[in-house]
Amino acid sequence: MKVLVVGAGALGQVFGMWLSLGGAQVSYLVRPGREHWADGDGALLYRLRRRGRPVEQRLTPHQVITEPVAGEWDMVWLCVDSTALPGSWTGDLHAATGGATVVTISQAPQDHAVLTRTWPAEQLVQVVPSLLAYQAPLPGQVCEPGIAYWAPPGAALGVFGAEPRARQVVAALRAGGARARRTRRAGASDITAARMMPYIAALENAGWSISATRYGRAARASREAVAIAAASHGRRAPLAVPAWAAHLALRALPLLVPFDLPRYLEAHFTKVSAQTRLMLDGWIAEGAARGLPVTHLTELRAEASA
């Protein structure tokens, strides 16, 4: 199987490693200037564990390119954030990769419409990342530079898309040792993002202080975003996370994860803050178009701009 991964960030490297371990020939498409990221012995990754030292792994790409190369590609993985998806480059990628299964890990409400301007909907498969990955070391960590990742025990990657493409993606991930399962309910990933991202935005607005975060506002914005995401998929809105539960989780999680969670959240989500704002804008626009409440999302977005 020939796989082209677009983007060599933390998640792009983890997914590429799993696919490579499963027997796929994995190549990377990166922006100019990044073509030497895996030179020499390849890229170093750390699989984090709650107990014991991290497990060191190596990723050696088949090739690293800066422009799409025409060929018989089986899969194309779009491991870039949502702000990178619009643009003419996707047309060039489509021309080079033809009917390959296109896997996206993005969750912004605009993404599906953006991607279907280039690819037919039946060619797309969405994977919901149920792991945390980052560029190591974080401040205070002692290790060689590389990508650290942690998959919570029992968590599985959700895979949504038409058959047989979704089944092929699940099989490719499982072959490399990843937990993956088919998700048949449309919008599950979008609703998960809608439930979580208002809290991330509120954390960022509070300078990444868990104690200073305004959980009530985040909870109300999350409830609005979940209702909008559910309505866009013709579903009834599930329960949103209450403020007290989110506050309790953010206080308890640092004790459970094998790294400094507040520093991870700040390092990762500061880097993709433009994507967070794009997601808020998407729910506000969709909600306004459907006549659904967006008051608290709008307040959260205004605070982010300030």
Could you tell me the sign of the dihedral formed by the alpha carbons of 259, 47, 151, 224, in that order?
Answer: positive
Give 3-state DSSP helix, strand, coil % of the chain, rounded to 5. Answer: 45, 15, 40
CB 180 within 8 A of CB 169: yes
pLDDT in tens, 189-235: 899 899 999 999 999 999 999 889 999 999 999 999 999 999 999 99
- Tokens of residue 155, six digits: 């968590």
Please give the pLDDT value at position 189: 84
Q: Is the peptide bond before 109 cis (omega within 30 degrees of 0)?
A: no
Per-residue pLDDT of the chain (306 residues; tens, 9 = 90+): 999 999 999 999 999 999 999 999 999 999 999 999 999 899 999 999 988 889 999 999 999 999 999 999 999 999 999 999 998 999 999 999 999 999 999 889 999 999 999 999 999 999 998 999 999 988 777 678 999 999 999 999 999 999 999 999 999 999 999 999 998 877 888 998 999 999 999 999 999 998 899 999 999 999 999 999 999 999 988 877 889 999 999 889 888 899 988 889 998 999 999 999 999 999 999 999 999 999 999 999 999 987
Other Cβ atoms less than 10 A from the Cβ of 258: the count is 14
Residue 27 pairs in a beta bridge with 4
Angle at which helices 261-271 and 273-290 cross, to 10°: 70
Nearest to 55 by CA among 44, 65, 66, 64: 44
Q: What DSSP character marks residue 163?
A: T
In sequence order, the 6+-apart residues with CB closer than 8 A to the CB of 249 are none
| Phi-psi label, residue 254: left if phi above 0, alpha if psi -120 to 50, beta otherwise | alpha
In sequence order, the 6+-apart residues with CB closer than 8 A to the CB of 79 are 5, 6, 7, 8, 9, 11, 12, 15, 105
Phi, psi of 134 (to 5 degrees): -160, 165
Residue 2 pairs in a beta bridge with 25
Please give the pLDDT value at position 282: 97
Q: Which CATH class is domain 2-182?
A: alpha beta
CB 269 within 8 A of CB 204: yes
List the alpha helices (DSSP H) in 130-272.
165-175, 188-205, 215-232, 243-252, 261-271
Could you tell me the sign of the dihedral formed by the alpha carbons of 159, 165, 170, 176, in that order?
Answer: negative
- Tokens of residue 238, six digits: 């599930």
Please give the pLDDT value at position 142: 67
Angle at 262 between CA 261 and CA 263, to 5 degrees: 90
Nearest to 4 by CA among 66, 86, 73: 73
Please give the pLDDT value at position 224: 97
The whole-angstrom separation of Cα 296 and Cα 239 is 17
Q: What DSSP character marks residue 241?
A: P
pTM as predicted = 0.93
